[in-house]
Amino acid sequence: MTGFSFRKICPWCVQHEAAQRGELPDDAPQPVVAAPWVRRSESTITLTHVLFGANLAVFLAMQMGYGPTMDFNGPALAQWGNYGPFTLSGQWWRLFTYMFVHGGVVHIAMNMWCLWSIGGLCESLYGRWTYAAIYVITGIAGGLASVGWNPGVLSVGASGALFGITGALIASFYLGEFSFGEVSVKSTLSSLLFFAGFSLFFGSVYPGIDNSAHIGGLISGLIIGALIAVVAPQSDSLGRRASVIGLGALLVLAAGYGVDRWRGGPIRMSLAYRALAENEPDRAIAQLQAIIRQSPNLPQAHFALAQSFFAKDRFPQAEAEFKRVLELQPKNLDARFELGLVYLSEKRIEDAKNTFSQMLAADANNADAHYGLGLALVDEGQFQPAVAEFKTAIQLGPRASGIYYELGRAYANLKQFDDAIAAYQQGKEREGDNPDLEAALAEAYAAKGMPQQAQEAKNKAAQLRGEAR
């Protein structure tokens, strides 16, 4: 019995102590106890060989696909790596594939050396299938820790899983029972502790190393290894061993749910806003609907979804989403303003006017409300009152763009072309070149009998539209 045996005595020791007490005859048969670290495999090809080959095959495939190189760039690694915006937006398979992707020759060489050294020991101690489960579960745990702690960092490599099996070995060597000497146990345990400590220290001082994945793998490995050592140390305790592995998987699953709740919403919202900024409303709609399924009462998700529907001219859906925002946040004036614009797009002028009037009732100096009311008055053909609303909005400083264009249109309808031209020119000064402003300016110049200026503005509008295409 070694110094690390605190819970059980092996069958040979039990019989030996019974014989010393005179409780067994001299010819009692000796039990044969298999050493726990001896591999009992029908095949000479171990799982460590398979994992080593899989990592090497992926690396060689990347060399063939992206050209011979010492180090791969970000886009190449992002194809299968663990990156928060991709993983947390539904590509959860990356938590598995990232374990087989490496950033370069030095990266894979170091990891494969560790795998060959530590993996063989782990496989011999636990057996093939327990070893496989520990490797995968702790590798996924390391990936979750990475996207939780550093969601904007691309993580690749087998080191999360390697730290996982290292943690499992440390826990088992500390808590478990072995039939080889105490010196061997202490020596192996010391080596594992030194490897883990040195690697974490190196990762903390050397840039580009994702220590969060290392820590996530190590902690999950320590937990699973401790449970195996205490609950199911014998490899033939299949039920107990499976229960421990299942519990480990459930803990990682729960951690994944927590990371998704913590980081997933903001990440997916940023992707949706990016899709809107890149004029891809269909992609934004799909992402936002997924967010709302998970968080039905998230006002910003409903607001962005309404904007996406608006961009696709799906006005009834946009109206419903803006109203949902107002149910959740009755004082949200941005949603109320956007709802008024939806009504204008649907030619529901009275509903739009009522909406903007409600905003002015809450805040008489709301520039956007005056601007929206001006738009509604233009649609009704009330151009002089519309001019007054636009001017008030300009004095208050509206956030909405296009107000000088609308003011110029109102003046043009009143045949006040000098004022229209002045409004369009102010719009160019404030908002920069715009093809709609140039086209409106060309019409105003033509109405004033200024053909040369009209042609120049018309040419400028065509040029700007061509550049936009």
User: Domain 405-469 adopts which CATH fold?
Assistant: 1.25.40
CA neighbor of 317 nearest in space, from 306, 303, 301, 327: 306
Which tokens in the block code for residue 40? 């009992």
Check pLDDT > 70 for residue 390.
yes
> b vs e for 280-292, b when ≥16 Cβ sit within 10 Å of the residue's Cβ?
bbebbbebbebbb
Please enumerate, as own/partner, the contacts of 356-363 that have beta carbons within 8 Å and a separation of 24 or more: 359/333, 362/331, 362/333, 363/333
Check pLDDT > 80 for residue 41.
no
Q: Is the pTM of this model over 0.85?
A: no
Q: Which residues contact 222 (CB under 8 A, 6 or more apart)?
A: 167, 168, 170, 171
CA gap 325, 455 in Å, rounded:
46
pLDDT band at 223 (very low <50, low <70, confident <90, very high): very high
Q: Which residues contact 458 (CB under 8 A, 6 or more apart)?
A: 438, 439, 442
Q: What is the DSSP string of 249-300?
A: HHHHHHHHHHHIIIIIHHHHHHHHHHHHHTT-HHHHHHHHHHHHHH-TT-HH
Check pLDDT > 80 for residue 186.
no
What's the pLDDT at 32? 57
Which tokens in the block code for residue 383? 């151009």
What's the pLDDT at 70? 83
What's the pLDDT at 182? 57
Distances (CA, A) of 30 to 8, 49, 280, 340: 19, 36, 75, 90
| 405-469 has the same fold as 47-261 | no
Least confident of 213-222, 260-269, 280-289: 260-269
Which tokens in the block code for residue 461? 């509008």
CA neighbor of 351 nearest in space, from 319, 328, 306: 319
What mean pLDDT comes out for the span 11-39? Answer: 61
Please say whether the dihedral angle defined by the alpha carbons of residues 223, 165, 131 and 7, taken in this order, is positive or negative: negative
Question: Contact at 8 Å (CB) between 301 and 268?
Answer: no
Give the mean pLDDT of the chain.
85
Q: What is the DSSP string of 194-236?
A: HHHHHHHHHHHHSTT--HHHHHHHHHHHHHHHHHHHHH--STT
User: Domain 47-261 adopts which CATH fold?
Assistant: Rhomboid-like fold (1.20.1540)
Give 319-355 pLDDT, tens digit per residue.
Answer: 999 999 999 999 999 999 999 999 999 999 999 999 9
Domain ranges of the chain: 47-261, 405-469
What's the pLDDT at 194? 74
CA gap 455, 443 in Å, rounded:
9
